[in-house]
Amino acid sequence: MRSTPIPLSSPDITQREIDAVVEVMQTPTLSIGPRVEEFERKVAKLTNRQHGVAVSSGTTGLHCAMIAAGIGPGDEVITTPFSFVASANCVLYVGAKPVFVDIDPKTLNIDVSKVASAITPKTKAIVAVETFGHPGGMIELEQLVQQHELMLIEDSCEGFGGTHGTRPIGSFGRASVFGFYPNKQITTGEGGMIVTDDDVFANLCRSLRNQGREGMSWLAHQRLGYNYRLSEINAAIGCVQCDRIEEILAARRKVAHTYINRLMTNRFLILPTLEDDTHMSWFVFVVRLNDLFEVGARDDIMRDLRAQGMGCNNYFPPIHLQPYMAQEFGFKEGDFPVCEYVSARTIALPFFGKLTTRQVQRVCDTLEKILDKSMTSKKSRF
Ligand SMILES: *Cc1c(COP(=O)(O)O)cnc(C)c1O
């Protein structure tokens, strides 16, 4: 008997979210209403911020944040090459230049010790990402931007619910941006949120997401704006997800620890690095092949996993080597060796709160068999 496939991710939706959606649908207000405001208050509270501005996605939130930060043509923005493309694309949207800095092989976030040497007179900001939910380096980056009078924008799209010391992810820098796509810790279907303590920044983002409007008048547009609004229906889902946040995060943590306990002794894998003063918010569960494996082995291993019904993916290919980036800025292989080395060896395994211990065991059993097979076939070639 072939067992049922295990997807890479799956949203944590209960009857409460479904009821909340049905309730909104029975009102005449499907956009610009009380649910969006309630969702903004909840996310701001959870991240210790004064303001939340709900938007249609993490990407549109980052776009607004770049404009509100005053970044434009001629400016440089320092960011990581090991991330989802949106964290670098937002720099391109405003006509500025992304300047990549290689990553720390433990946290997989930007290597803070290499940032200072990338700063030029044109540098305006740093867009920092908590890759896979790891907050490492954020406090140091905050100190660094103060010394150099730069602005820190936190792309916290992978870190909802995590903490660094006593500080929540989403509380660092001038503003932080969350995304609520279905594979994130909490979801609204599509959606995002900018959080900040800066009144001017928040108001600017509110105007930008709503066609440049500033006052009550529907047809007065103060500036070039966008329709980046979040609907009441999506916001209603977000409100319930915020109310369930502890339960959602605890379920994900439990799955992550089941994986770690099971795979800890595997001699072919590098597991996520945990640090004492940080609380990962588990976005994905990514293992890395160690250097016993040749480049290319990873893709064969993923193919075998998929053939056995296990979702997996190569989070993340280096951003600087994506065709449009490499062409536009002349990036090439070897530019960011740590990122490229790590990136060639990652496997994101099925990960979501509802994954049962039995399913995790099945994924690990299958993975270990495939790894053993991969090693044996390699040896037989010599
Ligand atoms: C998910 C994500 C985003 C935003 O994604 P959307 O799909 O636009 O909501 C941005 N940056 C990073 C690092 C992400 O992981």
Q: Is the pLDDT of residue 195 over 90?
A: yes
Question: 26 alpha carbon to ligand 1 midpoint, in Å?
Answer: 31
Q: For residue 22, what are its two tokens?
A: 């049905």
Burial class (CB in 10 A: 0-12, 13-18, 19+), 325: buried
Q: Is 60 within 8 Å of 225 (Cβ atoms)? A: no
- Residue 54 is predicted with a pLDDT of 98
Map out the domains of the chain with their CATH numbers: 15-243 (3.40.640.10), 245-380 (3.90.1150.10)
**Mean pLDDT on 363-378:** 92
Question: 177 alpha carbon to ligand 1 midpoint, in Å?
Answer: 9
The ligand 1 atom at the shortest distance from the C-alpha of residue 57 is 9
- 173/164 Cα distance (integer angstroms): 13
Question: 210 alpha carbon to ligand 1 midpoint, in Å?
Answer: 21
> Judging by DSSP bridges, how do beta strands 76-79 and 123-129 pair with one another?
parallel
Which of 82, 90, 181 is the pocket-test mutation for ligand 1 (most atoms within 8 Å of CB)? 181
Confidence of residue 382 (pLDDT cuts 50, 70, 90): very low
- 380/128 Cα distance (integer angstroms): 44
- 344/159 Cα distance (integer angstroms): 23
Q: Which residues pair with 348 in a beta bridge?
A: 286, 313
The ligand 1 atom at the shortest distance from the C-alpha of residue 83 is 13
Confidence of residue 30 (pLDDT cuts 50, 70, 90): very high
**Mean pLDDT on 67-71:** 98
Express each pLDDT in 121-176 by its tens digit: 999 999 999 999 999 999 999 999 999 999 999 999 999 999 988 899 999 999 99
Q: Is 248 within 8 Å of 353 (Cβ atoms)? A: yes
Q: For residue 308, what are its two tokens?
A: 């056995």
Q: Is 9 in the pocket of ligand 1 (CB under 6 A)?
A: no
pLDDT above 70 coverage of the chain, percent: 98
What is the number of H-type helices and E-type strands within the chain? 12, 13
With CA atoms as reference, report the closest residue to 243 among 23, 38, 58, 50: 38
Express each pLDDT in 307-364 by its tens digit: 999 999 999 999 999 999 999 999 999 999 999 999 999 999 999 999 999 999 999 9
**Mean pLDDT on 288-299:** 92
Confidence of residue 379 (pLDDT cuts 50, 70, 90): low
- 193/191 Cα distance (integer angstroms): 7
- 328/334 Cα distance (integer angstroms): 17
The ligand 1 atom at the shortest distance from the C-alpha of residue 61 is 8
Q: Is 293 in the pocket of ligand 1 (CB under 6 A)?
A: no
Question: 85 alpha carbon to ligand 1 midpoint, in Å?
Answer: 8
> Which residues fall within 8 angstroms of residue 149, CB to CB, at 6 or more apart?
none
| Token pair 């928040």: residue | 202
- 68/124 Cα distance (integer angstroms): 12
**Mean pLDDT on 246-273:** 96
With CA atoms as reference, report the closest residue to 38 among 178, 296, 238: 238
The ligand 1 atom at the shortest distance from the C-alpha of residue 283 is 15
Q: Is 59 in the pocket of ligand 1 (CB under 6 A)?
A: yes
Q: Whose CA is nearest to atom 5 of ligand 1?
A: 58
- Residue 279 is predicted with a pLDDT of 83
**Mean pLDDT on 52-77:** 98
Q: Is 335 within 8 Å of 346 (Cβ atoms)? A: no
Express each pLDDT in 208-227 by its tens digit: 999 999 988 999 999 999 99
Q: Is the pLDDT of residue 200 over 80?
A: yes
Q: Is the pLDDT of residue 44 over 70?
A: yes
> Which residues fall within 8 angstroms of residue 154, CB to CB, at 6 or more apart?
128, 130, 138, 169, 170, 172, 173, 175, 176, 177
Express each pLDDT in 262-286 by its tens digit: 999 999 999 998 877 778 899 999 9
Q: Whose CA is nearest to atom 9 of ligand 1?
A: 58
The ligand 1 atom at the shortest distance from the C-alpha of residue 158 is 15
Q: Is the pLDDT of residue 380 over 70?
A: no
**Mean pLDDT on 57-66:** 98
